[in-house]
Structure 1
């Protein structure tokens, strides 16, 4: 094999590997169906085990029932206070009603307004992806549970 043929093969192999890695990264992101299923599982868990245990398990990053790749749950009361958060326990107990994403969207306020009239809904905003560590477009599936809203979101690619 000539040196030029070897270089062409190396470039082609690199392209194939890069495409494979991009496909694997895309495959590893959670889907809308998985977000809906996790939210439903979270709601059922809270109903079956009570709020205190339910919120603790949603916040517990070692609990794989509520943490899967870039998918996790967050629960907010109707006043915007976080009662559970799957990636940052320091958010629990803080009020985020006026929190805005990088485009100025008050997405927590939107959630609590929507939960007043709907039992389930989707909402779009931008948020830090815990896997890529970048601000990315996100859509969250949410369900109302008593005076809270339970949400799980996926990052749009």
Structure 2
């Protein structure tokens, strides 16, 4: 009887850990979901203009934050214009910010946005707000139609 209780407790522990890991995996956005959100954000800018869209990206969490994905926008100097993950960053200059390895990822994002393709992926190491650990992150970066704003949506790899 005692062994049966121990077996049940062990089984419950395994199920609990499995469910927890599954929930954590679901809370993470994928590369494809980042592309879908970036496409929707670019269309939103075209429909309502930059001012309205940037406010929406920052404040309308139900529409513009999906799992751990969100829309961020800077100008070409690295000043944050919209940020679905952290509203306190609005107005901050991020050009000099480096990732955990010393990589100047914001400068690279702007460089990618200014390239002939006006879009691309930038990989860097960043603190995941869900796990509180430094993790690999990839952001899809696009120059918006105004030619002055750089939008990004990133996922943790």
**TM exceeds 0.5?**
yes
Q: Which moved more, 1:51-60 or 1:134-143?
A: 134-143
Distance 2:48 2:149 in 1: 16
Distance 2:122 2:44 in 1: 23
SS class of match (1:64): helix
Distance 1:5 1:93 in 2: 60
Distance 1:50 1:131 in 2: 32
1:136 aligns with 2:130: no
Instruction: Give the structure 2 partner of residue 147 of structure 1.
Output: 148
Distance 1:49 1:152 in 2: 19
Instruction: Give the structure 2 partner of residue 80 of structure 1.
Output: 78
Q: Which residues of 2 match residues 1-157 of structure 1 at below 5 A?
A: 2-60=1-59, 62-117=60-115, 118-145=117-144, 146-156=147-157
Contact 1:36 1:141 in 2 (8 A): yes
Distance 2:66 2:12 in 1: 31
Contact 2:61 2:84 in 1 (8 A): no
Instruction: Measure how far apart 1:134 and its partner are.
Output: 3.4
Instruction: Measure how far apart 1:112 and its partner are.
Output: 0.5
Q: Which moved more, 1:104-113 or 1:126-135?
A: 126-135
Contact 2:137 2:154 in 1 (8 A): yes
Distance 1:153 1:70 in 2: 9
Distance 1:44 1:17 in 2: 41
The alignment covers a number of residue pairs equal to: 154
Moved over 6 A (4+): none
Instruction: Measure how far apart 1:115 and its partner are.
Output: 1.2
In the superposition, the TM-score normalised over structure 1's length comes to: 0.90
Gapped regions of structure 2 (runs ≥ 5)? none
Distance 1:58 1:3 in 2: 56
Instruction: Measure how far apart 1:109 and its partner are.
Output: 0.2
Distance 1:26 1:140 in 2: 19
Deviation track 1:22-72 (CA, whole Å, cap 9, x = no partner) reads 122112211111111111111111121111111111111x43221112110
